[in-house]
Amino acid sequence: MQCQHYELGLAGADTAFSVDPSAVTFGAGCLVEAGDIARSLGITRIALFTDAVLATTEHVAKVMTSLKEANVDVALYDEVRVEPTDMSFRAASKFAADAKVDGYISVGGGSVIDTAKAANLYSTYPAEFLAYVNAPIGLGQPVPGPLRPHIACPTTSGTGSECTGIAVFDLLDMRAKTGIASKMLRPTRALVDPDCTLTLPSSVVASSGFDVLSHAVESYTARQYTRRPAPDSPSQRPSSQGANPWSDLGCAEALRLLGLYLERAVADASDVEARHQLMWASTLAGIAFGNAGCHAPHGMSYSVSGLCETFQPAGYPDHTPMVPHGMSVIVNSPSVFRNTASGAPERHLDGARWLGADVSGAGPEDAGNILADHLVALMQATDMPNGLEGVGYSADDVGALVDGSINQRRLLDNAPMTIDREELEAMYTGALRYW
Ligand SMILES: [Fe+2]
């Protein structure tokens, strides 16, 4: 099959892609379906994962009521740490093992969903913590088999974690963000209620919206699946398999929706249409990057968030300094796309056009700048930080930022060009300030 201009037949490269669909229920108010879904999955005692703030919200109350009405026993774990660590993953895994549950439900952002994935994994297949963690930081051992059912209920329009097999955390000893990636970690069902986003502060909507935007552009511009080395066996084909005709569909529609609704959703919390559409874009982009993989903006984001010492964003709980995930990504994205466009110029131009940029008369050599300039204008319109300097870094930090991301090979090798130390330095330097 020659489709979507994918080149086939390259020596040693893969010739097929896998569609690993997420089972999604999407709709305003659908959190009340949690109990019925749990019963249909055969769950009789469920671990409900959330964080201390969300535990007091109507979202958790709705889910709890629904589970109880369906006669599902609930073991509540409301100690999920925002920006989880190996320590917090271990604590959650111990809770899960002790609670003797036969299923999981997570209600929250990416931190909550990722923690439930890890707890499900380590309580089902106990192992040394680094066993399943991505190489070269961990041993990268395959997950031995299926996990217990997991219903993931995102409360922000950004994470996409409800549709992916990835769990991200900070490894405290190394001050590095890394993750566990396996198709087995993908939640059994995503239960996506866009009403959850109606009470979010605009800064949270902006940050998570740019996470969605970068998921979609990165998945669409990722190294094509026909250029990735073929796996030793088909079952070892990674979920970060590169851009493919299936993920392209979700990316295109997510970017079209973001072009229409991102600014509106940030500017006006009462704009229900915009906030609902953003949640749908987030779901589509989650399905896409769960089947294609992100690349350099996400790979570079890990050290941007991991090395943060001073930045405290508006709209987030006022405790330790942090760069929210979406911000840590989007501060890199324009600089990255200026560089990676040479590897897939038409795809960078497609992304810009779907977001609403004027690409008339543009040639391949213009693609990176057109996309980057459009992103920068969107960042300015939504009060995003002005590049790395906007979240507390300077040119003196570029070396440390490179050191902190050079080992993110799963992501960096998914870019449409080779990314070495020199390239990373150039991309971080280009991301210092945009206006
Ligand atoms: Fe992300």
* 26 has pLDDT over 50: yes
202-430 is classed in which CATH architecture?
Answer: Up-down Bundle (1.20)
At the top level of CATH, the class of 29-192 is alpha beta
Q: On the CB side of 345, how many CA atoms lie within 13 Å of its CA?
A: 9
Distance, CA 409 to ligand 1 centroid (Å)?
16
Distance 412 CA to ligand 1 centre (A): 14
pLDDT of amino acid 213: 98
Give the pLDDT confidence score for residue 313 in this predicted structure.
87
- Cα-to-centroid distance, 393 and ligand 1 (Å): 20
How many angstroms separate the CA atoms of 372 and 333, rounded? 8
In tens, the pLDDT along 377-425 reads 999 999 999 999 999 999 999 999 999 999 888 899 999 999 999 999 9
Ligand 1 centroid from CA 129, angstroms: 23
215 alpha carbon – ligand 1 mean position (Å):
6
Residue pair 257/157 in contact by the 8 Å Cβ criterion: no
Whether cis (ω within 30° of 0) applies to the bond prior to 136 is: yes
Tokens of 428: 């971080």
Q: 213 C-alpha to center of ligand 1: Å? A: 9
Question: 216 alpha carbon to ligand 1 midpoint, in Å?
Answer: 10
CB 268 within 8 A of CB 205: no
Q: 256 pLDDT exceeds 80?
A: yes
- pLDDT value for 118: 98
Provide the residues around ligand 1 (an ion) whose CB is within 5 A. 211
Tell which residue, 311, 175, 160, has the closest CA to residue 247: 160
What contacts 418, CB < 8 A, 6 or more positions away? none
**Spacing, Cα 430 to ligand 1 middle (Å):** 21
CA–centroid distance, residue 41 to ligand 1 (Å): 28
CA of 208 to the centre of ligand 1 (A): 8
Q: Are 410 and 182 in contact (CB under 8 A)?
A: no
3-state secondary structure of 422: helix
- Cα 83 to averaged position of ligand 1 atoms, centre (Å): 12
Give me the torsion for CA of 209, 214, 220, 222, rounded to 10°.
-160
pLDDT tens for each residue of 74-123: 999 999 988 899 999 999 999 999 999 999 999 999 999 999 999 999 99
Confidence of residue 318 (pLDDT cuts 50, 70, 90): low
Q: How far is CA 7 from the centre of its chain?
A: 27
| Domain ranges across the chain | 29-192, 202-430
Lookup: tokens for 276? 């609902």
Query: Which amino acid, 117?
Result: K
What's the gap in Å between 179 CA and the centre of ligand 1? Answer: 12
The pair of three-digit structure tokens given for residue 190, joined into one six-digit string = 């995503």
| pLDDT of residue 3 exceeding 80 | no
Q: According to the model, what pLDDT value does residue 314 have?
A: 80
